[in-house]
A and B are shown apart, each in its own frame.
Chain A
Amino acid sequence: AQKITQTQPGMFVQEKEAVTLDCTYDTSDQSYGLFWYKQPSSGEMIFLIYQGSYDEQNATEGRYSLNFQKARKSANLVISASQLGDSAMYFCAMREGRENYGGSQGNLIFGKGTKLSVKP
């Protein structure tokens, strides 16, 4: 079963408007972290924002915010005031709790991504 699900293969948004990119996750761990990365056409992966499972407040980083709904296991990325440079692939990722070395804990598991296109 997929651990990270991004249901929107592609999204369009008008420049200067806000957009929400969906992400749901599946884990039985109590401790985990959720990440969003941006991948422009150049291929590099750019870290955007992080939310810990014990964080009570939604994470924010500039124009990026994470709408974290723990009971629904959802971690949607909200981009405010979209810019043309925001056009890229966006990936949601999860790292499950890792108090100890060994095993598969600690690996970043990625969703399939959402391609965002910002229209002028």
Chain B
Amino acid sequence: DGGITQSPKYLFRKEGQNVTLSCEQNLNHDAMYWYRQDPGQGLRLIYYSQIVNDFQKGDIAEGYSVSREKKESFPLTVTSAQKNPTAFYLCASSIWTGNTEAFFGQGTRLTVV
């Protein structure tokens, strides 16, 4: 079945540590996105990538980094520079051209302990 897989579902991190969230898709989509969700805030865009080896900052990129070495994969690293990393992280992908919907992964809940 085609879809987007995020792992892990739950992640705990100690303060000062970097952590990487995985996102893999087999939908052959060009575009991939990372969103952060906090209670009452909706979804906010962290980074997006339109094609391999290219990515752009979203609205809240500070303290995060990404890579897009393969079309299928778009990992997100939450660095120690992110002051408030505890949140729900959602990865999505879509066809870039045309007004088509984005497909989402199941999300990763990150907690800093």
| A residues adjacent to B (C-beta < 8 A) | 9, 31-33, 35, 37, 42-45, 47, 50, 52, 91, 95, 98, 101-102, 104, 106-113
Q: Is B84 among interface residues, defined by CB-CB distance under 8 A?
A: no
Q: Is B103 among interface residues, defined by CB-CB distance under 8 A?
A: yes
| B residues adjacent to A (C-beta < 8 A) | 31, 33, 35, 40-45, 48, 50-51, 56, 58, 88, 90, 92, 94, 96-97, 99-107, 109
**CB within 8 Å for A108 and B97 given contacts A101-B50, A101-B51:** no
Q: Are A50 and B101 in contact (CB under 8 A)?
A: yes
**Docked pose: A98 CA to B43 CA in angstroms:** 21
11 contacts between A and B (CB under 8 A): A35-B101, A44-B105, A45-B90, A95-B99, A98-B97, A101-B50, A107-B33, A108-B43, A108-B45, A108-B102, A113-B42
Contact of A43 among B45, B56, B102, B106 (CB under 8 A): B106
Q: Are B96 and A101 in contact (CB under 8 A)?
A: yes
In the complex, the chain B residue whose C-beta lies closest to that of A100 is B97
- Collect the chain A residues with CB atoms within 8 Å of residue B41's CB: 112
**Docked pose: A22 CA to B68 CA in angstroms:** 36
- Of B43, B51, B96, B103, chain A has the most CB atoms within 10 Å of the CB of B43
In the complex, the chain B residue whose C-beta lies closest to that of A34 is B99
**Docked pose: A37 CA to B94 CA in angstroms:** 14
Q: Are A98 and B92 in contact (CB under 8 A)?
A: no
Q: Are A50 and B99 in contact (CB under 8 A)?
A: yes
B87 shortest CB reach to chain A, Å: 12
Q: Are A106 and B104 in contact (CB under 8 A)?
A: no
Contact of B58 among A9, A45, A102, A107 (CB under 8 A): A107
- Collect the chain B residues with CB atoms within 8 Å of residue A37's CB: 104
- Collect the chain A residues with CB atoms within 8 Å of residue B44's CB: 110
- Collect the chain B residues with CB atoms within 8 Å of residue A44's CB: 104-107
- Collect the chain A residues with CB atoms within 8 Å of residue B106's CB: 42-44
